[in-house]
Structure 1
Amino acid sequence: MSLKIRLARGGSKKRPYYHVVVADARSPRDGRFIATVGSWNPMLAKDNEQRVVLDAEAIKAWVAKGAQPTDRVLRFMAEAGIAERDARSNPTKAQPGKKAVERAKEKAAKAAEAAEAAAAE
């Protein structure tokens, strides 16, 4: 039996809440699971410490038994310091495009001119 550590959705319509569960890989997303090892509430602010709650000891025990975390759960584990996650292959994805860089330079130049004009008065 292959085990996965994955998210099971709860909550109401348009108000998601996820449980981090250990389940058989063949069972449905919200179906039968073996253990609950944490939760994720995406409705909370990103800096809220209750947004992602993980039971580190239980997760380590299940990983030792052969459970494989999904990508999203692996991200949470990496942020909590439980596991290592490989870097992705597209490091330039978050960088702004050419036009956005040009607009930023123009805005900075206008701000510098306005600052010089204000200093000259």
Structure 2
Amino acid sequence: MGANALWADDGITVNAANPGAVITNLGRHLTEEDLVELPAFDYQSPERGAATSVLLAAWPQLEGVGGRYFENCNEAAPYSPDKPTQGVAAHAVDTEAAAPLWQISLDMLDAARQA
């Protein structure tokens, strides 16, 4: 059971958002050699990187919509090898395969809370 299914009865929806490759200060300590090694992405501004998250938080048409993956202000298409930096892989939305990881995560949170 994923987060969206877990909280649906409480009126809480959960989606995933990929901000994309964003130019921020996180890379300020990278060397020229590090920068050369980075994949060739279309880097975007922090404002553009935040746009998908803002859309998910504020767009009325997504009220009650959950369990989905968004990028570039749209629901992501299935992954395709011809666009390796876009899309959502089938295993990423496989709720049956995710169930054991979800349970481990809940167990770890419970253990941390009791510590």
**TM-score normalized by the length of structure 2:** 0.28
- Decide which structure has greater strand share: 1
Larger RCO of the pair (alpha carbons < 8 Å, separation 6+): 2
- Which has the larger Rg? 1
**TM-score normalized by the length of structure 1:** 0.27
- Decide which structure has greater helix share: 2
